[in-house]
Structure 1
Amino acid sequence: MTSAKLNLPELRITLPQLPCDAAGPVFNAPWEAQAFAMTLALYERGMFTWAEWAVCLNQAIRDAQTAGDPDRGNTYYVHWLTALERISTNKGLVTSDLLLQRRNEWDAAARRTPHGRPIELGR
């Protein structure tokens, strides 16, 4: 697989629903930017193409809509994260068990973190 650099016009064509302004993607929370950055890093390392990513993201959105997501635009990066988990698992980059373990670790960390404080995983 070859490495590819981000091409904003190509990205906007491939992912037309991606929240963007003139400078590029926009985010409502730090975790959204982190999910985008992880996806971009995997793409740049040649782990998948934008076409593969678009199919996976589209499927995650369709699945959510089938399950009742009203598609008001505020859940886009939730679908993005679902697609990132799916494509990473499908490509053998991570196991389902490891994803579940990490999800549980974040849940436990969030529960023990006082409101307004950054959530940090223990080492």
Structure 2
Amino acid sequence: MDTVAAAAAKAVPGIPRDEDGPVFREPWEAQAFAMALTLHERGLFTWPEWAAALADEIKRAQAKGDPDTGETYYRHWLATLENLVAAKGVATSETLHRYRDAWDHAADRTPHGSPIELTEEDFG
């Protein structure tokens, strides 16, 4: 495991992992993890700041009924990433939602097994 991923796994308790490091059930989970590592490396947040924000996100989800079985961990990770990006002024929540909706639209129109390609039409 690379040193940045190892530092993240050590600094942020609860990351699903095995003896080799973080584990992911879906490609998007690894991508969300990688985005957080990159933004941390670029100085957007510290690991203690990230861990606190992630813990707050998980607490909010549990208060709304999340059973905390571990299956939703990276959904919380992604929500934390979106919240911090918006809070730090990198992108607005509206922009993030606009792109999420566009990717959902692109995924809906893409045949299973084909690469998802985002087009201007997906923003309509």
After TM superposition, the score normalised by the length of structure 1 is 0.88
Structure-2 residue corresponding to 1:37 = 34
Structure-1 residue corresponding to 2:86 = 89
Higher relative contact order, chain-length normalized (CA < 8 Å, sep 6+):
1
Does residue 47 of structure 2 align to residue 50 of structure 1? yes
Count of matched residue positions in the alignment of Structure 1 and Structure 2? 118
What value does the CA root-mean-square deviation take over the aligned residues? Answer: 1.6
Distance 1:48 1:91 in 2: 9
Does residue 69 of structure 2 align to residue 72 of structure 1? yes
Q: Which has the higher helix share?
A: 2
Q: Please say if residues 54 and 80 of structure 2, whose CA atoms lie closer than 8 Å, have aligned partners that are also in contact.
A: yes
Structure 2: which amino acid aligns with 1:56? Answer: A
Distance 2:39 2:105 in 1: 27
Q: Select 2:99's aligned residue among 77, 102, 108.
A: 102
Structure 1: tracts of 5 or more residues without a match: none
SS in structure 1 of the partner of residue 100 of structure 2 = helix
Distance 1:25 1:13 in 2: 10
Structure 2: which amino acid aligns with 1:114? Answer: P
Call closer, same or farther: CA 1:116–1:6 in 2, change over 3 Å.
same
Percent identity of equivalent pairs: 53
Q: Which moved more, 1:74-83 or 1:100-109?
A: 100-109
Distance 2:98 2:5 in 1: 34
